[in-house]
Amino acid sequence: MTAENPTGPLGGHLDDDDYPAYTMGRAAEMLGTTQGFLRAIGEARLITPLRSEGGHRRYSRYQLRIAARARELVDQGTPIEAACRIIILEDQLEEAQRINAEYRRAAESAHTTAAT
């Protein structure tokens, strides 16, 4: 087995944060929560698990990190709907800050190029 041609059940997806590798039961176990909690954050559209051919929910590591953040907020007393909204807004803010930083770098680069 080589890095260029991985084999095995995951077919080279071990480092893929978006690969839906975890069943609902395993995801709930890893997060220390219930399957109902995972269903609730799915219904709130915080995460949308992929479905296996048999229709079972499958979660990625990225989705588990989001679910873990929701669990933290809920454990602190935040209602689940509010926790999901907070996480969505945090994500939108992070994206806006990233875009602003890109614009700033581009403007600085254009300014530097024009000055020389």
The 10s digit of each residue's pLDDT in 17-28 is 889 889 999 999
Contact indicator for 78, 86 with CB cutoff of 8 Å? yes
Q: In the predicted model, what is the mean pLDDT of residues 102-115?
A: 87
Structure-token pair, residue 82: 């509010």
Instruction: List helix spans (H) across the chain.
Output: 24-31, 35-43, 61-75, 80-115
Task: Tell whether pTM > 0.85.
Answer: no
Indicate the burial class of 76 (C-beta count within 10 angstroms; 0-12, 13-18, 19 or more): exposed
Contact indicator for 44, 78 with CB cutoff of 8 Å? no
